[in-house]
Structure 1
Amino acid sequence: MRIPGLFQYSLNPPALSGDDAAAAEEKIPWVLLERDAYVAKHDNATTAFALTCNGKPIQVTFCPRRPPSVSYACIHCPDPNEINTEPSIVATQEGFVLLRVAIGRKDEYLKNFDYYVYHAEGPSLMLLPRLPKHFDGRDAGVLCYGQEGYIVAALRHEGWWPDGQFDLCIYDSNKPGHWNVHRVSLSKRHGRKKHFFHIICQVVAIGGDAGTMAFADHWHGILFCDVLRVGDEAARRRPKEGEPMPLLRYVPVPEPHDSMLGDARLYRNVAVVGGRLKYVQLHPRKKPLDGICFYNDGSSTDGYIIEGWMATTWSRPAAATSASSSSSLSTSSSGDDDRWRKDTSIRDLNTGLKVPSNLGFELVSRRPWQPVLGLQDDAEDIVYFTAMVQRMDYKEWVAVAAVDMGKKELLGATAFSAAPRYIDFAYVHSTVSKYLR
């Protein structure tokens, strides 16, 4: 069956193996989760049901797999014309997943995004009220708090607004039925500039008493906002209409800031692991060149040649990221515990890794992409990359490879069967698996 607007691959989720079934029973602590859900009917103990904005039934099911295999979700409506483009995983935290589904006519899909919150403990699926303002999926995150409460928060900026000002859209499950919108801004003390450029590409829930969330522009810096304090601050200040509240703190990301590479999610990632905010960056080692260099994958560079790809991890205390903190904004790698600390580095991912002989494959000397931090506290140096892998019979395939950055060792790789669905960012990390039934 074909559905207009959907890739054929999106209708056929990967087959689950016996090991996948065992992983689901074990409640694995975290997973890699495909960014786009499959449009297919699949039922198991994780299946949850709701109604669309049109009053039609919809269901969501999760299929967990051990990393480096990539887990996925299936979304199904009995009416095949109800979903007209690939549904997406917007954000996750603990047992909550924020999903976005385009409902109804394809030519009006920008007006018809349904946002749902899936709660693994139940499971349950909740359709959120329509947003007061349109935002891109990259702008939003979910924060769990209290016993079973959650907040969905999105930070958005219009090009004609003053630099450093944003609308913070908040939905609180303990105050259901509507969204609250607050105009917020950077304070001068926390990095406000005359020309402030910030395009959000990842949102991370840090938590704590203030409910801190990080809105990351991986080429420039991270905005921190204490979302649990916004309502109290708004009530205290009673700002005039449109007057922003200086509730954002800005921290630059470690250099280099190589925005010419394109989508930052293919080169950078951030997560809270072991009580620290960890950051991984993948960047090219460049050699000056007169003229243009063309590569086998169809890409090119002007004025330099890429000799290899270097990966570096950094971290800073997660507890020091609150927007009310007055700490340093430096990116120095010194011993100051509130600065980015350089943890690990591999000069060349293709030639600088130990590859155990029993693996039976090696990384191909091409560009790796999309580093994703593992979320296991006792294995915090493991990073996952999408890469070309070559077996001993010289056959090549796209795989997700696990690399121990501390030991500089390739731990393993699994074929990424969903690769034909993506030309860019493909999966996220999530702890929802340990809450699934």
Structure 2
Amino acid sequence: MLDEDCTEAFRKIFSPSCRPPPLPSPDTAPAPWVLIEPLAYVADQTNATTAEASTSTGLTLRVTVCLTDPLGVSYVCVHCPDLNDTDYASRPSVVCSEKDFLLLSVLFLHAPQGREYFVYKAGPGRPSLRLIPGPYPLVLTASDFGLLPRDDGDHFVLAALCYSLTPWVYDLHVFSSRTWAWSTKLTQTEISSDVRTGVSIIIASKVIQLGGGTLGWVDLWRGIAFCNVLDEIPVLRFITLPMLMPGNKDGVKPAPWPLRNVAYSNGLIKFIEVEKHERPDVDETSYDDMDTLCESDCLTKPKEIGWRAMTWYTTTSWDHWRKGCVAYDEEISVDYPRLSKMLPHVRDNVTKELTLKDLLASYPVLSLTCHCDDIVYMLCKLKSCSPKSWLITVDLKEKVLVDLAPFSLEGYFSSAHPSELSSYLKTALATEGT
């Protein structure tokens, strides 16, 4: 039988009736980018970001973005005045967000198409919401959809990479906001024989922009399939991701999000992995140096589990990855006095200094700030059974804890979406403030 905490976690993931948490009132203008919770809430909330659209059955759907700066998690609220919570099969989800666009997936129980997709646009002017017409491409998950804003800012392209019965033969379904219609392209592939042998299928965890008209379908276990979706005959290529770090190779891994993530900025594809590892026992002595053995010497000593984070980077034209940074938990400096009140239980027993050695890190998210290539956000919990958790910001290059904040949201199954939507909502929010 599930305990109370597990029941609440499952309810948060699957139940549309889960209520949104309160957010602090912003004292200043929104940050240039935010972290958005991957699941939206079914809740009647309105503010200057609220936009409306009609569903396929003619019902009114309202979408509201609730913003807070990073180290807090922003979220989206969905509300249909004529529907109850029980009319939703599950919580709506944020599929992806690029610039001032956000793609939202809503699964209705009684709609003809079931799942419907809406595009939210932050501006200029008042935010808008539009239903993407079906029939939709047959995809494994909503994560197969990629969003590509066009250069003029008013238009966008949606693209979905769909499987055929033949390995490495894909149909590319493209929706253009200019024609407001779907079209289908058959891709060509330039995939090495080694990749064809080792990788039979790609299950996208997310889709990222790779510059120009190129989108990359990221399978966080295997690699990135990418092509220029604007080409008449798109050519599909593949980048294999680094192998799992040794500490992540054991055990069942239902989802990659707690361990790995990929982002694109400054022309580079950046990969990060967080690994649990066993720290070497500094007191361990070789039998070669011992004349007598005590009972304690004959017993297996429990290994101390720590973690480390490692980054790699590449481009679409390279045939290799280059190592970025490696940082172990015990190397990360926590020198800020203001952090001591939020981390009262993570002091070293000998030095009494703040340390991250008693925390386990997961769900890494790379920063969207161009000049902060080595900044990563992670969720940390105490190794004990304590429910306390924090969202932390670490500079992996300098090995410094930059900031942290208590994190109370439970039941995550994927990392928060980094989004620039907040910078495009400044006008609407400023108007509301005035």
Q: TM-score range with shorter-chain normalisation?
A: 0.7 to 0.9
Select 1:253's aligned residue among 241, 252, 258.
Answer: 241
Distance 2:136 2:70 in 1: 38
The equivalent of 1:43 in structure 2 is: 46
Select 2:171's aligned residue among 167, 172, 176.
Answer: 167
Are residues 1:137 and 2:139 paired?
A: no
Structure 2 counterparts to residues 11-160 of structure 1, below 5 A? 11-18=18-25, 21-23=26-28, 26-81=29-84, 82-105=87-110, 111-121=113-123, 122-135=126-139, 136-147=141-152, 148-157=154-163
1:387 to 1:131, Cα distance in 2 relative to 1, 3 A: farther
Shift of 1:207: 2.7
Q: Which moved more, 1:400-409 or 1:5-14?
A: 5-14
Select 2:271's aligned residue among 242, 254, 279.
Answer: 279
TM-score (norm 1): 0.77
1:396 to 1:132, Cα distance in 2 relative to 1, 3 A: closer
The equivalent of 2:374 in structure 1 is: 381
The equivalent of 2:319 in structure 1 is: 329
Distance 1:58 1:427 in 2: 24
Distance 2:34 2:12 in 1: 28
Q: Which moved more, 1:148-157 or 1:422-431?
A: 422-431
Distance 1:172 1:9 in 2: 31
> Residue type of the partner of 2:89?
N
Distance 2:393 2:23 in 1: 20
Are residues 1:343 and 2:324 paired?
A: yes
Select 2:310's aligned residue among 309, 312, 321.
Answer: 312
Whether the aligned pair in 2 keeps the contact of 1:167 and 1:182 (CA below 8 Å) is yes
Q: Deviations over 1:125-166 (max 9, x none)?
A: 1100123433211211101013111111111225xx222122
1:287 to 1:180, Cα distance in 2 relative to 1, 3 A: farther
Are residues 1:355 and 2:334 paired?
A: yes
Whether the aligned pair in 1 keeps the contact of 2:15 and 2:91 (CA below 8 Å) is no
Whether the aligned pair in 2 keeps the contact of 1:186 and 1:192 (CA below 8 Å) is no
Q: Which moved more, 1:402-411 or 1:249-258?
A: 249-258
Q: Which has the higher strand share?
A: 1
Query: Secondary structure at the residue paired with 1:377?
Result: coil
Whether the aligned pair in 2 keeps the contact of 1:120 and 1:432 (CA below 8 Å) is yes
> Residue type of the partner of 1:85?
S
The equivalent of 1:337 in structure 2 is: none
Distance 1:123 1:345 in 2: 41
Distance 2:121 2:70 in 1: 22
Query: Secondary structure at the residue paired with 1:367?
Result: strand
- Flag structure 1 segments of 5+ consecutive residues without an equivalent: 234-244, 289-303, 322-326, 331-339
Shift of 1:407: 1.3
Query: Secondary structure at the residue paired with 1:16?
Result: coil
1:283 to 1:115, Cα distance in 2 relative to 1, 3 A: same
Structure 2 counterparts to residues 166-245 of structure 1, below 5 A? 166-176=170-180, 178-188=181-191, 193-194=196-197, 196-197=199-200, 198-208=202-212, 211-229=213-231, 232-233=232-233
Identity percentage of aligned residues: 31
Whether the aligned pair in 1 keeps the contact of 2:38 and 2:417 (CA below 8 Å) is yes
Larger Cα-atom Rg: 2
Select 1:412's aligned residue among 403, 406, 419.
Answer: 403
Query: Secondary structure at the residue paired with 1:265?
Result: coil
> Residue type of the partner of 1:352?
E
Whether the aligned pair in 2 keeps the contact of 1:250 and 1:329 (CA below 8 Å) is no
TM-score (norm 2): 0.78
Distance 1:404 1:396 in 2: 25
> Residue type of the partner of 1:313?
T
1:5 to 1:345, Cα distance in 2 relative to 1, 3 A: closer
> Residue type of the partner of 2:24?
S
Whether the aligned pair in 2 keeps the contact of 1:221 and 1:252 (CA below 8 Å) is yes
Query: Secondary structure at the residue paired with 1:193?
Result: helix
Shift of 1:8: 6.5
The equivalent of 1:236 in structure 2 is: none
Query: Secondary structure at the residue paired with 2:404?
Result: strand
Whether the aligned pair in 2 keeps the contact of 1:150 and 1:172 (CA below 8 Å) is yes
The equivalent of 1:435 in structure 2 is: 424
The equivalent of 1:335 in structure 2 is: none
Distance 1:165 1:129 in 2: 26
Shift of 1:99: 0.4
1:388 to 1:146, Cα distance in 2 relative to 1, 3 A: same
Q: Deviations over 1:339-391 (max 9, x none)?
A: x2211111x33x2311124302144735321100110112221101111159x
Query: Secondary structure at the residue paired with 1:170?
Result: strand
Q: How many residues align?
A: 370
The equivalent of 1:334 in structure 2 is: none
Distance 2:135 2:357 in 1: 45
Q: Deviations over 1:3-57 (max 9, x none)?
A: x998668542222223xx234xx23111110001111111111111001111100
1:343 to 1:113, Cα distance in 2 relative to 1, 3 A: same
Are residues 1:266 and 2:266 paired?
A: no
Distance 2:228 2:138 in 1: 22
Q: Deviations over 1:303-323 (max 9, x none)?
A: x97832221112224xxx2xx
Distance 2:195 2:15 in 1: 46
Query: Secondary structure at the residue paired with 1:433?
Result: helix
Q: Deviations over 1:156-206 (max 9, x none)?
A: 225xx2221222121111121x31222324224596514533221111012
Are residues 1:401 and 2:392 paired?
A: yes
1:68 to 1:6, Cα distance in 2 relative to 1, 3 A: closer
> Residue type of the partner of 1:213?
L
Distance 1:206 1:89 in 2: 20
Whether the aligned pair in 1 keeps the contact of 2:92 and 2:104 (CA below 8 Å) is yes
